[in-house]
C-alpha cells in the first residue's frame, strides 16, 4: 500500500475517533439529565406475583352445596306431579292422579293423611308413598311419580349469550351457571365472567369468573336466584399489545380474546428489530391492578438467548424498544458518514451495509476490512441473535 494511502487512513481514523468522542460527550451530557426509573426484570416478577390476589380455598360446606347443584331434581312448592299406583295383579288401584305440592311441601292422596314430599327426589317420593299405603291400606303396590309442571323461576340473561332474554329455571337450578346454559350458552366473544344483580338488592353486584373452579363453586353455592334477577355475561376484551420504537413494524397487535403472546412473539410479529441501529434493550409498560404503570427494563440480548424469562404479555401491555446513545450514534453514522479510501463523503447506502461488504473492502485494503481498521471492538457489529427473530 502506498505511503499516501496509509496517511489518508490514519487521518480518517483520527477524524473518526474525534467524531465518536464528540458524540459520546453529547450523549453523556444529555443522558445524565434523565434518570432511568425502570425496574429490573427480577423486581417486576416479584411485584407481579404480589399483585395476584390469593384465592381462598372453598369451605367443605361450599363444596358440598356446589356439588348438590348437579344432583337430581328435588320437588318444591308449586310443582305438579303425576302419581300412578299399580297393584300386585297389574291393575291400576287408583286412576292416574295429578297432585300439586303445597306451600308446606305436602301432597294429598286418597286414603292418606297429607304426605310431606318437599325437597325430595322423585325416587324418594315413590318410596314414601309406597310406605304410606303398604301394608296399612294395600298389601302390594307399585308407585310411579312423574313431574308434569315444575314451578320455574324467571330470570333475565343478557350479554354474550346465544339466546338472551327471560329464562325459566327449575327449583334446584336457580344459579348463574344454569341460567347461562338456559340462554343457549355463551358466545365466542364471552370472557367467562358474569355479573349477578338481584332484584331485591339492586345496590349489590356479584361477579364470578366461571372459568375458575373456585369462583364457579362460589357461584353454585350462592343463594338461589329469584324472580327478576339479572345475569350479564361480559364480552372478552381483545388481547391488544402495543409494540413501538426501534422495530420494523410499529403499531398495535391484536389477538383473539384469551389468546397468549410472549415478548419474543410480539417482537417477531413486529418484523424484528431494526438492523441498521441494532438496539439491545427494551421497556415493558404494564398497568397494574391498582392503576399504576410499571416500567420494566429488558435486556433483549439475554432474552433472545433464553437467559431471561420470555414473559407472557397481558392485554394492554406496551413493548417499547427505545433509542439509546449507541443507537443514536449508529443512526448518525448511517445518515452522514461513508468511508472510501480514507476520504469522508456523503453516501447513498448505510455505513453498516458498507462495513459488511467484505469483498469491496478487501480489494482496497489488502485483505482487511474497514471494521477491522476502525471498529476493532465490534461497536457496529450486527446483533445476530436478536435479528434472527425476524426469520429468513
- pLDDT-based confidence at residue 365 (cuts at 50, 70, 90): very low
Nearest in space to 233 (alpha carbons), one of 202, 198, 190, 203? 190
d(CA 245, CA 282): 9
pTM, two decimals, is 0.54
What residues are paired with 176 via a beta bridge?
A: none
Is 152-235 in the same CATH topology as 80-149?
Answer: no
Q: Can you read off the three cell numbers belonging to residue 246?
A: 426501534
Class level of CATH domain 152-235: alpha beta
Query: Is the domain defined by 1-54+238-392 classed in CATH 3.10.560.10?
Result: yes
How many residues are there in the chain?
392
> Is residue 82 helix, strand or coil?
strand
Q: Give the strand pairing for 201-209 and 190-198.
A: antiparallel
d(CA 66, CA 204): 22
Domain coordinates in residue numbering, the chain: 1-54+238-392, 80-149, 152-235
Residue 100 half-sphere exposure, CB side, CA atoms within 13 Å?
Answer: 6
Please enumerate in sequence order all residues whose Cβ is within 8 A of that of 156, keeping only pairs 6 or more positions apart, or say none: 165, 166, 167, 228, 229, 230, 231
Residue 349: pLDDT over 70: no
Residue 198: pLDDT over 50: yes
What pLDDT does residue 70 have?
81
- Residues above pLDDT 90, as percent of the chain: 45
Residue 344: pLDDT over 70: no
d(CA 298, CA 304): 11
The b/e string for 223-234 (b: 16+ C-beta within 10 A; e otherwise) is eebeeebbbbbb
What pLDDT does residue 37 have?
86
Average model confidence (pLDDT) across the chain: 80
For residue range 376-388, what is the model confidence (pLDDT) as tens digits? 444 444 444 455 5
Location of C-alpha cell 403472546: 261
Is 222:250 a contact under the CB 8 Å cutoff?
Answer: no
- Residues above pLDDT 70, as percent of the chain: 74
More confident residue, 236 or 164: 164
For residue range 231-257, what is the model confidence (pLDDT) as tens digits? 999 988 778 899 999 999 999 998 877
What pLDDT does residue 91 have?
86
- pLDDT-based confidence at residue 46 (cuts at 50, 70, 90): confident
Location of C-alpha cell 426501534: 246
DSSP state of 173: G
175-179, 236-240, 355-359: range with lowest mean pLDDT:
355-359
Residue 208: pLDDT over 50: yes
* 89 burial type by CB count under 10 A (0-12 exposed, 13-18 middle, 19+ buried): exposed
Edge-first strand order for the sheet with 80-86 is: 92-100, 80-86, 142-149
138-142, 150-154, 217-221, 287-291: range with lowest mean pLDDT:
287-291
Under CATH, which number does the domain 80-149 receive? 3.30.1950
For residue range 134-145, what is the model confidence (pLDDT) as tens digits? 988 888 899 999
Q: Give the strand pairing for 339-340 and 343-344.
A: antiparallel
Please enumerate in sequence order all residues whose Cβ is within 8 A of that of 362, keeping only pairs 6 or more positions apart, or say none: 368, 369
Amino acid at each position: 500500500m502506498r505511503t499516501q494511502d496509509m496517511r489518508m487512513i490514519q487521518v480518517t481514523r483520527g477524524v473518526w475517533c474525534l467524531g465518536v468522542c464528540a458524540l459520546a460527550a453529547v450523549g453523556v451530557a444529555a443522558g445524565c439529565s434523565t434518570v432511568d426509573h425502570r425496574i429490573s426484570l427480577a423486581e417486576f416478577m416479584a411485584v407481579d406475583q404480589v399483585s395476584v390476589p390469593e384465592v381462598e380455598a372453598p369451605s367443605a360446606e361450599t363444596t358440598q352445596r356446589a356439588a348438590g347443584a348437579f344432583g337430581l331434581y328435588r320437588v318444591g312448592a308449586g310443582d305438579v306431579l303425576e302419581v300412578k299406583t299399580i297393584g300386585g295383579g297389574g291393575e291400576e288401584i287408583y286412576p292416574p292422579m295429578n297432585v300439586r305440592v303445597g306451600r308446606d311441601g305436602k301432597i294429598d292422596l286418597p286414603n292418606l293423611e297429607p304426605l310431606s314430599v318437599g325437597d325430595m327426589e322423585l325416587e324418594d317420593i315413590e318410596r314414601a308413598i309406597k310406605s304410606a299405603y303398604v301394608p296399612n291400606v294395600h298389601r302390594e303396590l307399585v308407585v310411579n311419580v312423574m313431574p308434569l309442571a315444575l314451578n320455574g323461576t324467571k330470570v333475565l340473561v343478557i350479554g354474550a349469550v346465544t339466546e338472551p332474554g327471560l329464562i325459566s329455571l327449575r327449583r334446584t337450578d336457580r344459579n348463574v351457571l344454569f341460567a347461562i346454559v338456559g340462554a343457549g350458552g355463551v358466545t365466542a366473544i364471552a370472557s367467562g365472567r358474569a355479573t349477578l344483580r338481584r332484584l331485591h338488592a339492586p345496590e349489590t353486584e356479584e361477579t364470578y369468573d366461571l372459568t375458575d373452579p373456585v369462583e364457579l363453586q362460589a357461584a353454585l353455592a350462592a343463594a338461589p336466584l329469584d324472580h327478576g334477577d339479572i345475569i350479564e355475561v361480559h364480552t372478552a376484551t381483545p388481547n391488544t399489545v402495543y409494540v413501538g420504537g426501534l422495530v420494523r413494524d410499529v403499531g398495535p397487535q391484536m389477538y383473539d380474546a384469551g389468546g397468549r403472546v410472549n415478548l419474543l412473539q410480539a417482537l417477531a410479529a413486529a418484523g424484528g428489530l431494526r438492523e441498521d441501529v441494532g438496539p439491545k434493550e427494551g421497556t415493558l409498560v404494564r398497568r397494574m391492578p391498582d392503576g399504576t404503570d410499571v416500567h420494566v427494563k429488558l435486556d433483549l440480548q439475554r432474552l433472545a438467548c433464553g437467559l431471561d424469562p420470555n414473559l407472557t404479555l397481558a392485554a394492554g401491555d406496551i413493548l417499547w424498544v427505545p433509542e439509546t446513545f449507541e443507537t443514536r450514534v449508529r443512526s448518525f453514522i448511517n445518515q452522514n458518514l461513508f468511508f472510501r479510501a480514507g476520504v469522508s463523503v456523503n453516501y447513498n447506502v448505510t455505513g453498516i451495509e458498507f462495513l459488511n461488504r467484505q469483498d469491496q473492502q478487501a480489494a482496497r485494503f489488502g485483505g482487511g476490512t474497514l471494521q477491522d481498521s476502525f471498529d476493532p471492538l465490534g461497536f457496529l457489529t450486527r446483533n445476530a441473535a436478536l435479528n434472527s427473530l425476524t426469520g429468513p
